[in-house]
C-alpha cells in the first residue's frame, strides 16, 4: 500500500482531520540511518507528525521540528515541506532500550524530558518559532500539547509505528483532528469520546482498516467529507554535491589546507539522509582558489 495523505472535514466543517500512511517514508529513514527499533519508532512518529503538521498549513513553505529531550536518543530533527517531502534524523540511532511492562517500546523514556521547537518558514512572509515543553516524549501527545498551547487549536494527534519481529517497519501513519472555531461543547465532547474509544492507529490498520476507514472510525458519528487525497509524499532530501561544496566554501582556508595536507580529501555525510559526498585533493584546492 503506497503512502498517502487525506485531508477532510466533518461535522459540517467544524472538524478538520488530516490522516496519513507513512510506512515507506519511515522504512526509508530507518534504512538510511540504520536505526534500532526504538529509534525507528521515535523517528517515524516525528517524521509522520511533522509532515501532518505541514499538511495543515494554509501557506506553502517548510517547517522544522526539533525534539530536544534528555533521553538516550538525543535530538530528533525533522524538516518537512507543505509539498509533501520530509527528511529527518535521530542523534543516536543505535540506542537500545528494553520494552516496557506493556511489551512496547518506551519512546517516552528514550526521548526524555525537554522541549519541542517548531519553526515555520513560509514562502511569503517571515518565519517564526514556537516552543513548548515536552508533555511525555511520546511525540503524539507532545504535538497535541503544542497545537493547544502554541497554536491555540484544540486537537488530537495519533501517531503509530509498528515494528515487525524481523525489525522491519510493518506500518506507520497517523492523523491530526482539530476543532474549528464555533464547534461548541457538544461536538467537542462527542469527538473526545469517540477518540478515547478507538484502538491505536496501528491496531486499526493491522485489523484491516484502510486510511479512510480509520478516519471514519475516529470521527465516529460525524459525516466525513474528503477534500483532497495525495500520494505525492516521500522521504526526500534536498542535499546535493553542489550544496555541500557551497557550504564548504565558507570554511576557513586553514581548515581546508589541513584536510588537504592530513586527509588528502574530505568526506561529508548529510545528517538528514546519511548520503556521503567525497571530495578529492583537487576539489579542495579549487575551493581554496575560489575562497582566496
**Residue 1 confidence (pLDDT):** 76
- The model carries a pTM of 0.94
How far apart (Å, rounded) are the C-alpha atoms in residues 8 and 16? 6
Longest dimension (CA), the chain: 71
Give the DSSP letter string of 194-237: HHHHS--HHHHHHTT--HHHHHHHHTTTSPEEEEEEE---EE--
Q: What domains appear along the chain, each with residue ranges and CATH number?
A: 4-235 (3.55.30.10), 241-291 (3.90.1280.10)
Distance CA 219, CA 242 (A): 47
Q: List the one residue out of 193, 173, 207 whose CA is nearest residue 18.
A: 173
**160-177: per-residue pLDDT in tens?**
999 998 889 999 999 999
pLDDT digits (tens, 9 = 90+) for 244-291: 988 888 888 899 999 999 999 999 999 999 999 999 999 898 888 876
Amino acid at each position: 500500500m503506497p503512502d498517502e495523505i487525506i485531508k477532510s472535514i466533518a461535522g459540517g466543517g467544524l472538524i478538520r482531520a488530516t490522516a496519513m500512511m507513512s510506512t515507506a517514508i519511515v522504512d526509508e529513514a530507518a534504512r538510511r540511518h540504520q536505526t534500532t527499533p526504538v529509534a525507528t519508532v521515535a523517528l517515524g512518529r516525528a517524521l509522520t507528525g511533522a509532515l501532518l503538521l505541514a499538511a495543515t498549513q494554509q501557506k506553502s513553505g517548510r517547517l522544522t521540528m526539533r525534539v530536544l529531550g534528555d533521553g538516550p536518543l538525543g535530538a530528533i530533527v525533522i524538516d518537512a515541506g507543505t509539498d509533501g517531502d520530509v527528511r529527518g534524523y535521530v542523534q543516536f540511532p543505535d540506542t537500545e532500550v528494553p520494552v516496557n511492562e506493556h511489551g512496547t517500546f518506551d519512546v517516552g523514556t528514550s526521548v526524555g524530558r525537554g522541549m519541542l521547537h517548531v519553526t515555520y518558514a513560509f514562502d511569503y512572509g517571515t518565519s517564526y518559532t514556537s516552543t513548548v515543553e515536552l508533555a511525555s516524549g511520546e511525540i503524539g501527545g507532545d504535538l497535541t500539547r503544542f497545537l493547544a498551547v502554541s497554536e491555540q487549536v484544540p486537537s488530537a494527534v495519533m501517531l503509530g509505528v509498528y515494528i515487525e519481529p524481523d525489525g522491519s517497519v510493518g506500518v506507520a501513519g497517523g492523523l491530526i483532528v482539530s476543532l474549528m472555531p464555533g464547534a461548541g461543547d457538544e461536538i467537542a465532547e462527542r469527538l473526545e469520546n469517540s477518540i478515547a474509544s478507538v484502538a491505536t492507529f496501528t491496531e486499526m490498520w493491522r485489523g484491516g482498516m484502510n486510511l479512510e476507514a480509520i478516519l471514519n472510525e475516529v470521527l465516529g458519528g460525524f459525516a466525513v467529507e474528503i477534500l483532497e487525497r495525495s500520494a505525492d509524499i516521500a522521504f526526500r532530501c534536498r542535499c546535493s554535491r553542489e550544496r555541500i561544496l557551497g557550504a564548504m566554501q565558507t570554511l576557513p582556508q586553514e581548515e581546508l589546507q589541513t584536510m588537504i595536507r592530513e586527509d588528502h580529501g574530505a568526506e561529508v555525510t548529510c545528517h538528514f539522509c546519511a548520503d556521503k559526498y567525497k571530495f578529492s585533493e583537487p576539489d579542495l584546492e579549487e575551493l581554496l582558489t575560489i575562497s582566496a
